[in-house]
A = this chain, B = another copy of it.
Amino acid sequence: MAGYNVAPLENLVEQFEKMPGIGYKTAQRLAYYVLNLSKTEAKAFSEAITDAHEKIKYCSVCCNLTDKELCPVCASEKRDKSVICVVETPRDAMAMEATNEYRGTYHVLHGAISPLNDIGPDDLKIKELLARLDSSVTEVIMATNPTVEGDATALYISRLLKPLGIKVTRLAYGIPVGSDLEYADQVTLARALEGRNEL
Contact between A91 and B52, CB atoms less than 8 A apart: no
Question: Are B72 and A15 in touch, CB under 8 angstroms?
Answer: no
**Given A1-B97, A6-B67, A97-B4, are A42 and B33 neighbors across the interface (CB < 8 Å)?**
no
Consensus secondary structure, chain A interface: helix
| Known A8-B56, A91-B28: A3·B73 in contact at CB below 8 Å | yes
Q: Beta-carbon contacts of A6-49 to B below 8 Å, as 1s and 0s?
A: 11110110110001111000101111111101010011111111
A199: CB under 8 A from chain B? Answer: no
Contact assessment for B44 and A15 in the assembled complex, using a CB-CB cutoff below 8 Å = yes
Cα(A55)–Cα(B1), bound, Å: 19
Taking the complex as formed, is A135 at the interface, i.e. its CB lies under 8 A from any CB of chain B? no
We find that the number of chain A residues with CB closer than 8 angstroms to chain B is 57
- Residues of the B chain whose Cβ atoms lie less than 8 Å from the Cβ of A12: 48-49, 51-52
Give complex CA distance A90, B26 in Å. 15
Given contacts A8-B67, A26-B21, is CB(A90)–CB(B15) below 8 Å?
Answer: no
Stoichiometry (number of copies): 2
* B34 x A29 contact (CB < 8 A): no
CB neighbours (8 Å) of A29 from chain B are: 20-21, 91
Within the complex, the shortest CB–CB distance from A106 to chain B, in Å, comes to 9
Q: Is the CB of B20 within 8 A of A33?
A: yes
**Additional A-B contact list (20), CB under 8 Å, known A6-B56, A11-B48, A28-B94:** A4-B72, A4-B93, A5-B72, A8-B52, A8-B55, A12-B52, A14-B48, A15-B44, A15-B45, A15-B48, A21-B26, A29-B91, A32-B89, A32-B91, A34-B52, A35-B52, A35-B56, A42-B49, A42-B53, A46-B46
Interfacial residues, chain A to chain B (CB-CB below 8 A): 1-9, 11-12, 14-15, 19-22, 26, 28-35, 37, 39, 42-53, 55-56, 65-67, 71-73, 76, 89-91, 93-94, 97-98, 100
